[in-house]
Amino acid sequence: MQRPAAIRELTEDAARSAALPGYLYSDPAVFEAEKTRLFHKVWQCVGHASELPNAGDYLVAGIIDQEIFVLRGQDGALRAFYNVCQHRAHELLKGRGNVASVIVCPYHAWSYELDGRLRGARATRHLPDFDPAAYGLEPVRLETPLGFLFVNLDPQARPLSELAGDMFADMVREMPWIDQVAVNPRHSLMGGERAVLDANWKVLAENCLECYHCGPAHRAFVDMIDVGRYTLSQHGAWMKSAAPLRSGDNSAYKVGAEEPVQHNSYWHLFPNIEFGLMPGSRAVSVFWFQPVDAERTSIAWSALTFPGENLPADRVDYLSNVLWPEDVTLCASVQRGLKSKGYRGGRFVAGPDLPGVSEANVHAFQRRYAALMGL
């Protein structure tokens, strides 16, 4: 594939590089290519082990046009499978729940053990050469670093532990308590109509990778966080940004000097997973930017807290009713602008003397995207 001039100008030097062209954020053909070249090959976070405490507990998740489920077996092991019956392709499970000891297809009642083996297939004993062992559920690769449920549709993909093992180690260094927290349903949103945004998934991902926009667009955030001391780093499949608390007495939400977290950190796992740590109480959030189509993105997030604890009301109010709506407005505007005939493609603001406003992580994101897409 011959690279368009605008993509050839996405060079190694962030300070001299042009950004990706706007058509990559709205072209349906590009989105179709992203399905097979990216999302059917990368690790995707679909939940946390704390959501499946008992044998038979399951959750269903979509990787764009592919649906899978993760289930805890009678032996306590977590497994992932494509959510499809091997008989006539009916979907097996919906949403979240518990299947006790057997999975039964609602179409023709073929049944499966919790480890994926075919348990029963009505009226098949007379069929010649019918081997039940050949009709078990199709497994999906699953890894569970720090309890997070990651699946990959590509049997040949590199293990997540090789791609981002050092990211999870870094998270443990900053959050030694992370193995003690669990998903808090009160502070979680698993997609749904109200969480579909009118912006390409890359717009949302890139927005989270820089704080150049924080000064103009997130006034309360920069009142709380010392963005002038932001640090950015790139590590191949993952990136990180972090900054200390500027003031506990700020216009976002109050952070006492005695509270255990006095800084902000974000870990981005390419292409669309974001882990976040905010000042205040011990809690970590995870965001999924799941594409719906070329110009819409479904957002899901979970907050993990200590059992019995909830986030303070003023923190929830700021994140839900101030910071997030600000980003939604920004991303929707960018999406419209990327289709403008007047947009010629921007430059990255980057350099060693610009820690608080650098777009180096956006540049690294776009470079990795272009390489994996073959652009």
Asked if the structure places residue 211 within a domain, the reply is yes
Same domain, residue pair 35 and 91: no
Asked if the structure places residue 133 within a domain, the reply is yes
CA–CA dist 248, 250 (Å, integer): 6
Is residue 20 exposed (0-12), middle (13-18) or buried (19+ Cβ within 10 Å)?
Answer: buried
Q: Where a domain ends, among 149, 184, 199?
A: 149
**What pLDDT sits at residue 344?**
87
Could you tell me which of 84, 37, 38, 39 has the C-alpha nearest to residue 63? 39
Structure tokens at 58: 């399951």
The residue segments making up the domain with residue 335 are 5-41+165-372
Each of the 375 residues of the chain gets a pLDDT tens digit; together they read 456 666 778 999 999 999 999 999 999 999 999 999 999 999 999 999 999 999 999 999 999 999 999 999 999 999 999 999 999 999 999 999 999 899 999 999 999 999 999 999 998 988 999 999 999 999 999 999 999 999 999 999 999 999 999 999 999 999 999 999 999 999 987 655 568 999 999 999 999 999 999 999 999 999 999 998 999 999 999 999 999 999 999 999 999 999 999 999 999 999 999 999 999 999 999 999 999 999 999 998 899 999 999 999 999 999 999 999 999 999 999 999 999 999 988 899 998 777 778 999 999 999 999 999 998
| Number of domains within the chain | 2
Same domain, residue pair 35 and 179: yes
Residues pairing with 245 in the sheet: 225
pLDDT in tens, 177-217: 999 999 999 998 765 556 899 999 999 999 999 999 999 99
Asked if the structure places residue 158 within a domain, the reply is no
- CATH number for the domain that contains residue 356: 3.90.380.10
Same domain, residue pair 28 and 76: no
Residue 291: how many CB atoms within 10 A of its CB?
Answer: 23
CA–CA dist 77, 193 (Å, integer): 32
Phi then psi for 204, rounded to 5 degrees?
-70, -40
Same domain, residue pair 121 and 249: no
Same domain, residue pair 242 and 319: yes
Same domain, residue pair 32 and 57: no
Asked if the structure places residue 124 within a domain, the reply is yes
Alpha-carbon distance values, 212 to 12, 216, 334, 347 (Å): 20, 8, 15, 13
**What pLDDT sits at residue 4?**
66
**What pLDDT sits at residue 285?**
96
- CATH number for the domain that contains residue 63: 2.102.10.10
Asked if the structure places residue 99 within a domain, the reply is yes
Same domain, residue pair 262 and 136: no
**What pLDDT sits at residue 351?**
82
**What pLDDT sits at residue 8?**
76
Same domain, residue pair 202 and 340: yes
pLDDT in tens, 309-351: 999 999 999 999 999 999 999 999 999 999 999 998 889 999 8
pLDDT in tens, 140-158: 999 999 999 999 999 999 9
**What pLDDT sits at residue 193?**
55
**What pLDDT sits at residue 189?**
77
Q: Where a domain ends, among 149, 182, 211?
A: 149
Could you tell me which of 31, 48, 9, 34 has the C-alpha nearest to residue 270? 34
Asked if the structure places residue 160 within a domain, the reply is no
Same domain, residue pair 134 and 25: no
Structure tokens at 154: 């590509």
Same domain, residue pair 242 and 178: yes
Same domain, residue pair 75 and 17: no
Residue 270: how many CB atoms within 10 A of its CB?
Answer: 20
Q: Where a domain ends, among 102, 125, 149?
A: 149
Same domain, residue pair 218 and 116: no
